């Protein structure tokens, strides 16, 4: 894909690790480093497949995980006296994760207070920008980038396998998909994430659709919500735009 999305909301490697830990309900004090490293690298491959601007810090974290993994696989050196018998190669990573998580949660609380006081949105039952309450009382939260990528990964697994002889004459572009999504949301209040990929013919069309979603988020045309941490993702027109049109 020649189309590159530069995201201003891109989350970092610690966000990805916390996402993976939460996804598999892992004890942060006892991280299965081989499993987390494999999952981290698979997400890195997806980021590269999408041609997103992966910062160098993602590569540094990948190298850190591989180093920790290699240290844990090595047998203890019995010829040298250990400086700290209780030292765990994961300790520094755990410390960074816990510290980052603490400051991130504090920042989110401050942001929630700021948005509530500013009264940015007047949606009933939701004073915060990243929260949405529906008419039936269900509450949805704005999906993170890695939640989107996780949903994208599942879609990618289920796409039809393209045969060697198959020729795709009409290549779908990201601009085409932006147009399609925008007009769907002109006529409808929301669309389920997976619905946008239902008629995709190949991997390129799936990627184009996902990049279109990211670009529309960047343009502040849409917002993505999900009920619960791994609930189904819904895409809606940015409520701020809806209010400005009224």
Per-residue pLDDT tens for 168-206? 556 788 999 999 999 999 889 899 999 999 888 888 899
User: Which CATH architecture fits 126-246?
Assistant: Orthogonal Bundle (1.10)
* Lowest-confidence pick of 54-68, 119-133, 217-231: 119-133
Domain boundaries, the chain: 1-118, 126-246
- Quote the pTM value: 0.74
- CA pair distance 33, 72, nearest whole angstrom: 9
pLDDT band per the 50, 70, 90 thresholds, residue 89: very high
Residue 9: what pLDDT? 52
Q: What mean pLDDT is predicted for residues 50-78?
A: 83
A 10 A CB-CB count for 239 gives: 16
* Lowest-confidence pick of 58-62, 68-72, 163-167: 163-167
Q: What percent of the chain has pLDDT over 70?
A: 72
Torsion of CA 118, 121, 126, 130, to 10 degrees: -90
- CA pair distance 66, 41, nearest whole angstrom: 10
pLDDT band per the 50, 70, 90 thresholds, residue 140: confident
pLDDT band per the 50, 70, 90 thresholds, residue 239: confident
């Amino acid at each position: 894909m020649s189309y590159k999305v530069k995201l201003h909301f891109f989350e970092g490697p610690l966000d990805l690790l916390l996402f993976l830990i939460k996804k598999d309900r892992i004890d942060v004090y006892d991280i299965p480093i081989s499993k987390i490293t494999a999952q981290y690298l698979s997400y890195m491959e997806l980021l590269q497949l999408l041609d997103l601007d992966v910062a160098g810090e993602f590569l540094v974290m990948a190298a850190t995980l591989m180093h920790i993994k290699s240290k844990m696989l090595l047998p203890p050196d019995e010829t040298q006296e250990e400086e700290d018998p209780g030292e765990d190669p994961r300790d520094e990573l755990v410390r960074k994760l816990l510290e980052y998580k603490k400051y991130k949660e504090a920042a989110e609380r401050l942001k929630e207070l700021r948005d509530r006081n500013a009264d940015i949105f007047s949606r009933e039952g939701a004073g915060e920008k990243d929260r949405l309450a529906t008419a039936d009382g269900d509450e949805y939260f704005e999906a993170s980038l890695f939640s989107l990528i996780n949903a994208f990964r599942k879609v990618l697994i289920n796409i039809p396998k393209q045969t060697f002889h198959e020729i795709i004459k009409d290549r779908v572009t990201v601009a085409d998909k932006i147009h399609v999504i925008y007009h769907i949301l002109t006529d409808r209040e929301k669309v389920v994430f997976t619905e946008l990929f239902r008629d995709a013919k190949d991997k390129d069309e799936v990627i184009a659709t996902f990049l279109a979603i990211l670009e529309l988020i960047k343009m502040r045309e849409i917002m993505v919500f999900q009920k619960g941490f791994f609930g189904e993702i819904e895409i809606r027109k940015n409520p701020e735009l809806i209010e400005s049109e009224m």
